[in-house]
Structure 1
Amino acid sequence: MAGKAGESFHYDFYTAERWNNWIKQITESDFKLEESDEPQGKEGAIFVNMEDDIILACLKIIAKYEREQIPQESALEYIGDIRDIALAEIDSISEDADLMIVSLQTSLMGSFAACEAYISGDYDEKDEIGDLVKVALEAESSEDIEIALGTIAEIGALVLSGKELSEKVMEEVPYGLVAEWLDGIESIYAAMQGSDSYKDDEEDDGK
């Protein structure tokens, strides 16, 4: 199979089929939001698991990039491929499920931006995450969404480089776009604190 630029192999880190299987599970689950407006029970866990699935695929790309098994350009293209799959508009399922999918996609916007910033080196290791969160919130309040998302990307890149995302920082963020994007960064941080099997040198078949 033809590879990306500069590659002799092609990796299927994530596929549209895989994403559509999650959407099918949501459709069949008859998902309903509870009074807390948070996903509950087995049906709610689908959204957590599908986000983790995406994050792990992205971390696998980064691991191969760090081992110089795929070049920077290809790594960015692979992240872009997954982003295109996950952020594509979904046919309406139900009001509650639609709300959760939009929330999930918003969260993943932060994750994808972080991965791209890390691979591109668009961050300063000397920056403090707490300071950047304040910059992002100020940009959001000024409706400068591009600056806000760019700052979130820097935060995520720092997390990917090994910096800690403290609970205190997260607790002080009011609900809004920045908070939802930071959820995507928190998912990256949580995945990195868990099993590091995504670093294993094996091809993912995308299933």
Structure 2
Amino acid sequence: MSGTEDDFLHHDFYTEERWKNWLNKVRESDFKFEESEEPQGKEGAIFVNMEDDIILACLKIIAKYDRGQISAESAMQMLSRIRDIALTEVDPISEDADLMIDSLQTSLIGSFAACECYLSGDYDEKDNVDDLVKVALEAESSDDIEIALATVAEIGALILKGNELSDKTMEEVPFGLVAEWLDGIDSISAAMVGADSYKEDEEDDEFC
């Protein structure tokens, strides 16, 4: 997709319709948690795909910023529109589905914070990702949630810059807010490794 910065500002990288389509798929799936520890299968994959869809839309915006096609301020505006769609309170579907959507939205808070931190440049490229994970966990244990999220955002910015969040580090993170936010960062990392089509300068009007 080529055009001026103003064109990009008026382009919908993600729409409310798209989000509602995913929610309809969740309703149709009649998702329920399984007793076993096996993967949830096709129904559970819906939530992974929902998150990936949003992450890729964010990465397309980041890519346009990296190419100098849009300013950081414009990119922030575009991300804000996506965040408002994805983090809006969702009407109850079922107990299990509601828990999954809540978890997905918590994870996305980490993803959006990372993108914003990257665009603002409010991070130090010399910082060590593993050390920052420890700082975030210490902040969470001290109930300093604002510092914990800001630190996770820095981690995400470093991932967007090309650093890695190791599987070993992720495995050692105890369940909590930081763990859920880091899942959002891990999703960014996976999307960046999985495919680089989001970097291509072309139109994307296909909706789920």
Counterpart for residue 82 of structure 1? 82
Q: Which runs of 5+ in 2 are unaligned?
A: none
Give 1:130's aligned residue.
130
1:5-26 CA-to-partner distances (Å, cap 9, x unmatched) read x624422100000000000000
Identity rate, percent? 75
Shift in CA distance, 104/39, structure 1 to aligned 2, threshold 3 Å:
farther
Corresponding residue of 2:34: 34
CA distance in 1, matches of 2:107, 2:126: 25
Name the residue aligned to 2:142.
142
1-structure distance, mates of 2:38, 2:161: 30
8 Å CA contact retained: 1:110, 1:185: yes
TM-superposed CA distance for 1:204, in Å, is: 2.9
Distance 1:38 1:20 in 2: 28
Give the alignment's Cα RMSD to 1 decimal.
Answer: 1.7
- Structure 1 distance, partners of 2:7, 2:193, is 32
> Are residue 56 (structure 1) and residue 56 (structure 2) matched?
yes
| 2:94 maps to 1:102 | no
**Residue 7 (str. 1) matches residue 6 (str. 2):** yes
Residue aligning to 2:200: 200
Give distance in 1, aligned partners of 2:190 and 2:28: 28
Partner amino acid, structure 2, of 1:52 = D
- How many aligned positions are there? 204
In 2, the alpha carbon distance for the partners of 1:87 and 1:138 equals 26
For 2:66, the equivalent position in structure 1 comes to 66
After superposition, give the CA deviation of every residue in 1:37-72 in whole Å (9 maximum; x if it has no partner). Answer: 786011101000010000000000000011111111
Give, as a single letter, the amino acid of the residue that structure 1 aligns with 2:48. V
The list of structure 1 runs, each at least 4 consecutive aligned residues, that deviate by more than 2 angstroms after superposition, is 6-10, 35-39, 203-207
* 3-state DSSP of counterpart to 1:7: helix
Sort the Cα spacing of 1:198 and 1:30 in 2 relative to 1 into closer, same or farther, 3 A: same
SS at match of 2:6: coil
The amino acid that maps onto 2:91 is: D
**Preserved contact between residue 114 and residue 154 of structure 1 (Cα < 8 Å):** yes
Contact between 1:12 and 1:204, CA under 8 Å: does it hold in 2? Answer: no
- Aligned pair in 2 of structure 1 residues 191, 122: CA closer, same or farther (>3 Å)? same
**Structure 2 counterpart of 1:155:** 155
The offset of 1:169, in angstroms, is 0.8
Q: Is the 1:136–1:149 contact (alpha carbons within 8 Å) kept by the matching residues of 2?
A: yes
TM-score by length of 2: 0.94
Other-structure match for 2:19: 19
- AA aligned to 1:93 is I
Structure 1 residues not aligned, in runs of 5+? none
Q: Cα offset for 1:111?
A: 0.3
